[in-house]
Amino acid sequence: MFYREAGQYNTTYEQDLQAFPIKQDKIGIAIWLVLAYLFVPFFGIPGLEYGFAMNAIMIPVLIFTITTIGLNILVGFTGQISLGTGAFMGVGAYACYKLTSYFPDTNIIILILASGFVSAIVGALFGLPSLRIKGFYLVVATLAAQFFLEWCFIRVGWLYNYNPSGAIEVPQREVLGWIVTGPSAEPMTRYLVVLSILVFLAVIAGNLTRGRIGRSWMMIRDMDIAAELIGVRPLTAKLSAFAVSSYFIGVSGALMVFMWLGAAEVESFDVNHSFLYLFMVILGGLGSITGSFMGAAFIWTFPIILKELGKSWFGINATVMENVSLVAIGVMIVVILIAEPHGMARLWQIVKQKLRIWPFPH
Amino acid sequence: MTDFLYSIFVGPFADMIALPDFLMQVLWEGFVAGVLYALIALGFVLIFKASGVFNFAQGIMVVFSGLTLVGLYELGVPAFMALIITLGVMYVLAFSVERFVLRKLVNQPDIILFMATIGLTNILIGLGQWIFGGETKTMITEQLWLPTGSSVWEPNGGLVIFQHIDIAATVIAVLMIVGLGFFFSYTKVGRALRAVADDHQASLSVGISLNQIWVIVWFAAGIVALVTGIMWGARSDVSFSLQIIALKALPVLVLGGFTSIPGAIVGGLIIGIGEKIFEIYWGPLFGSGVEGWFAYVIALIFLLFRPQGLFGDKIIERV
């Protein structure tokens, strides 16, 4: 009985509809936000060098969390599997790059958020086949998107302004006097921008998925024919899922290039990355926003931790540890699917339940 | 504008007629690539028919088996001994997949099983790189008594080059497909496999062990993967990039139908020949590299109009 919610009564409908109805959950979220906004930007992660903690762990994890939330909307909430995530991130990144070269004076954060819409349109376009097909067949359709878009990123010179290196390079931009993008941007500024966009998008995703649209997605996932019979239009539900999911993925792609990598070529958007994001969704928990945070953080930090441990404790070189982590993640995917199909989010729920009823088993 | 239309509708055909030998060369190259796509697709179909699992790991199984073979040879094992040991490894793989993955996931939705095979892909990539290293290896062609070199045929002025290994690949593929056909029609196990493919519950009720059948069918897919790995490795090299190329078996399956072995073969040939012709004659129009997505886009168009493929059962559920 570490905590209990006895005595917290909802007396109005508004209280009943809150995202976090229990007081302890509110406190928990507040602690996380305080840590993320007030502790990490100034102190990094205790025990790690500040630049490394920011550039190699915090910023990518936050960006990939946005990707994972986006993909989770499609795979976890709507039940449409996609292997084109990498390419849709690319669409967001290239769109943002084009927008910065057309509107050099506009606030970069607005451009990043706007580039998601380009990705949303492309995503909805490639989501069209989902109206007739599903399951593995849709995998082929999304793979078509992946490879076709990858080819576009190489061949269509207009996308990278005919840059001879074929890469997109991030220009320096300022917001309110702070340098936000480009090589001279401080890790702290970039971290705070990414964090704020993540919080903003996570709130939107949380509210979308527990609202009317989210419920229609889940109905389509659970049984599409039944959903259609009780008045959910598969066309709107599926295409909106594709569009919203691609919006998130596109924004995360733009953030990845502008806030983290600084320059990107087509390799950053290839099919192997698509698998990586799918793993984040599966391990974190299909159909869970909290799980998206856990999945992204785990899949990204696990190989880094393993590499460091292998080096400092056992003296094993980095390539071997990389392969070990590949195998370990594969095994974990299989084990999670067998033992707990709802992933780490479900494990967290079980832990909370145990804390609530301890020391009694029921 | 007329130039553009000409270069789409007239130019390529004029080129084809002007240089028939070159066309023949392109067709042959496409044909061989198609045979190899068909072999990978065959592995998919075998497993899909028997267990309803869409085995995403088939591509990496091709790489893994080829890598095991070459890796063992490099460790000093004689070539044919290495071949036998690799077969053993594929059996162990089939057995453990059935025991530790499929058996635990019975009755789960298809999509969960599919994701499990993606996890399996990761395991195999990691293991392969861990044990044998990630660098590209050369296939032991001569040690396995496979022909090397090439013959030149000069039909009318030009010349068409046939690599001997390509001819061998085609012959072996045909033999294997015929062999599989006999196995399915005339042996007890083969018939049991077909029964399972038709109806799981009915075959259980007449005493066929599903678990055994799954091991056998994964092993069969492993053998197909090994043959594909040897052939593909002999044409190019054994490397992990093969895994991405192996994904092309998916459009092949869409074209041929997920449940049809003839479909896999015809689909493979169509994709193989189609993408070579498109790359050579229409590719310059788009800038090269269209080979990468041509197959998928064809599959996408196919999905919109005939989702069950050319030969597949009409099992697809309309939404």
Q: How far is A144 from chain B (nearest CA, A)?
A: 5
Give B48's pLDDT tier (boundaries 50, 70, 90): confident
Q: Is A278 on the interface with B (CB under 8 A)?
A: yes
> Is B304 close to A129, i.e. CB distance below 8 A?
yes
Residue B105 vs residues A224, B101, B108, B122, B257: alpha-carbon distances, Å: 23, 6, 6, 18, 25
User: CA angle B135-B141-B146, nearest 5°?
Assistant: 160
Q: Specify the pLDDT at position B106.
A: 79
Q: How far is A272 from chain B (nearest CA, A)?
A: 9
Q: In this model, does residue B319 exceed pLDDT 60?
A: no
> Is B111 close to A79, i.e. CB distance below 8 A?
yes
Give B157's pLDDT tier (boundaries 50, 70, 90): low
Considering only the beta carbons, identify the residue of A133, A144, A330 that sits closest to B296.
A144
Q: Give the integer Cα–Cα distance in Å for A222 and A217.
A: 9
Q: Specify the pLDDT at position B9.
A: 73
Residue A174 vs residues A37, A190, B276: alpha-carbon distances, Å: 20, 11, 49
Residue with more model confidence, A181 or A1: A181
* CB of B69 closer than 8 Å to CB of B140: yes
Q: Specify the pLDDT at position A285.
A: 87
Task: Tell me the H-state helices in chain B.
Answer: 2-9, 11-18, 20-51, 58-74, 79-97, 110-132, 164-186, 188-198, 200-205, 210-235, 242-246, 249-256, 261-277, 283-286, 291-305
Q: Give the integer Cα–Cα distance in Å for B230 and B168.
A: 11
Mean pLDDT value of segment A312-328: 80
Residue with more model confidence, A21 or B86: B86
For A136, name the nearest residue in chain B, comparing CA atoms only: B54
The tokens 């936050």 sit on which residue? A62
Residue range A51-88, pLDDT digits in tens: 888 888 889 999 999 999 999 999 989 888 888 899 99
Q: Specify the pLDDT at position B313.
A: 62
Q: Is B318 on the interface with A (CB under 8 A)?
A: yes
Q: In this model, does residue A98 exceed pLDDT 80?
A: yes
> Is B118 close to A319, i.e. CB distance below 8 A?
no
Q: In this model, does residue B317 exceed pLDDT 70?
A: no
Residue A332, burial from CB neighbour count under 10 angstroms (0-12, 13-18, 19+)? buried
Domains of chain B: 21-305 (1.10.3470)
Q: How far is A182 from chain B (nearest CA, A)?
A: 32
User: CA angle A287-A280-A126, nearest 5°?
Assistant: 70
pTM here is 0.87
Q: In this model, does residue A114 exceed pLDDT 70?
A: yes
Q: What are phi and psi of A169, to 5 degrees?
A: -115, 135
Q: Which of residues 72-111 of B touch A (CB under 8 A)?
A: 100-101, 104-105, 108, 110-111
Q: Specify the pLDDT at position B105.
A: 84
Residue range A27-51, pLDDT digits in tens: 888 999 998 888 888 887 877 788 8
- Torsion angle, CA of A243/A247/A248/A252, rounded to 10 degrees? 150
Q: Is A135 on the interface with B (CB under 8 A)?
A: yes
Residue with more model confidence, A128 or A213: A213
**What is the distance of C-alpha A254 from the center of its chain?**
12
Mean pLDDT value of segment B256-262: 78
How many beta-carbon pairs below 8 A join chains A and B? 143
Q: Which of residues 234-263 of A touch B (CB under 8 A)?
A: 234
Considering only the beta carbons, identify the residue of A323, A327, A337 that sits closest to B116.
A337
Q: Give the integer Cα–Cα distance in Å for B313 and B274.
A: 24
Q: Specify the pLDDT at position A64.
A: 94
- How is residue B58 written in tokens? 């088939």
Q: How far is B130 from chain A (nearest CA, A)?
A: 6
* CB of B226 closer than 8 Å to CB of B39: no
Q: In this model, does residue B291 exceed pLDDT 80?
A: no
Task: Tell me the H-state helices in B133-209.
Answer: 164-186, 188-198, 200-205
Give B312's pLDDT tier (boundaries 50, 70, 90): low
Residue range B96-148, pLDDT digits in tens: 988 888 888 877 777 788 888 888 988 998 888 888 877 777 777 777 777 77
Give B74's pLDDT tier (boundaries 50, 70, 90): confident
In percent, the amount of chain B with pLDDT more than 70 equals 95
Beta-bridge mates of residue B153: B160
Q: Specify the pLDDT at position A213.
A: 92
Residue range A294-315, pLDDT digits in tens: 999 999 998 888 888 877 777 7
Q: Specify the pLDDT at position A1.
A: 67
Predicted-assembly ipTM surpassing the 0.85 threshold = no
Q: Specify the pLDDT at position B194.
A: 83
Q: Specify the pLDDT at position A115.
A: 92
* CB of A310 closer than 8 Å to CB of A321: yes
Residue with more model confidence, B152 or B78: B78
Q: In this model, does residue A235 exceed pLDDT 50?
A: yes
> Is A133 close to B290, i.e. CB distance below 8 A?
no
> Is B300 close to A326, i.e. CB distance below 8 A?
no
